[in-house]
Amino acid sequence: MPAEPLDAVEVKRHTLDVRIAHWIVALCFILLGLSGLALFYPPFFFLTALFGGGETARLLHPWLGIVLVAGYLWLFVRFVSASVPAPEDMTWMLRLGDAMSGREENLPEIGKFNPGQKLYFWGMAILILVLLASGIIIWNAYFATATSIPTQRIGLLVHSIAAILAILGFIVHVHMVTWEPGTLRAMVRGSVTGGWGWKHHRKWLRGVVAGKRAKPGTSAPAE
Ligand code: HEM
């Protein structure tokens, strides 16, 4: 008799507002990266063609940054409680080799976000703050006379270093998401399979199930 495929159990992971904010941030980040690299390094100047030329790229870049800050602020508020370090995080970090090679049976049970995700959340929060502050210093259209030229030079250096770190973090983030099957749908459809939750975030899954049992007939909160 042929085996009948069973429907996988679906568990809500990210609410719609979080997903919208996340994808606005992601889109702005990519556009900021492309326009920023074009302005930063002459061999990449050809990228300004994507924005209709050098002038428009320069005009759009800071405004895209403002939209990203607003989107990340939303994500920050929604994710901050799940990103506070937990006692089991240190053990997880010390066994990073097991985490990276898929031996998750050797790891402690993890809440909504693992320590790597928490690091990305806090790291990006700090880098975005630095990018915003240094970006305002070098936003000549509005603040050219607000600070001295040496301050603006330091602002430009700080802005470039923070941007490079953020791009490296972004590459790791996207790599981890695509490397772990079933993760991308968390931010696209807002749900994951029960198996995914059990494998990667068992403490979080136990909390979701306990929440459903406490309030039968209601759907457990996603955050
Ligand atoms: C194309 C680019 C991106 C993809 C495919 C992507 C994908 C995802 C996915 C699938 C999750 C959910 C992970 C889970 O539920 O366990 C997530 C979470 C998150 N994303 Fe992204 N993302 C992208 C860009 C960005 C950017 C640019 C930022 C910030 C500047 C960002 C910030 C976050 C944060 C803070 C979280 C929660 C913590 C974490 O999972 O690391 N993402 N992303």
Pocket test for ligand 1, best of 131, 173, 175 (most atoms within 8 A of CB): 173
Domains in the chain with CATH codes: 10-89+107-213 (1.20.950.20)
Instruction: Name the residues annotated as catalytic.
Output: 173
Q: Average per-residue pLDDT in the chain?
A: 93
pTM: predicted TM-score of the whole model, two decimal places = 0.92
**Distance in Å, CA 36 to ligand 1 centroid:** 21
Long-range contacts of range 28-33, CB-CB < 8 Å, 24 or more positions apart? 28/64, 28/65, 28/67, 28/68, 28/71, 29/68, 29/166, 29/170, 31/60, 31/64, 32/61, 32/64, 32/65, 32/68, 33/163, 33/167, 33/170
Give the pLDDT of residue 220: 47
Per-residue pLDDT tens digits for 138-180: 999 999 999 999 999 999 999 999 999 999 999 999 999 998 8
Q: With a 6 A CB cut-off, is 165 part of the ligand 1 pocket? A: no
Q: Whose CA is nearest to atom 11 of ligand 1?
A: 187
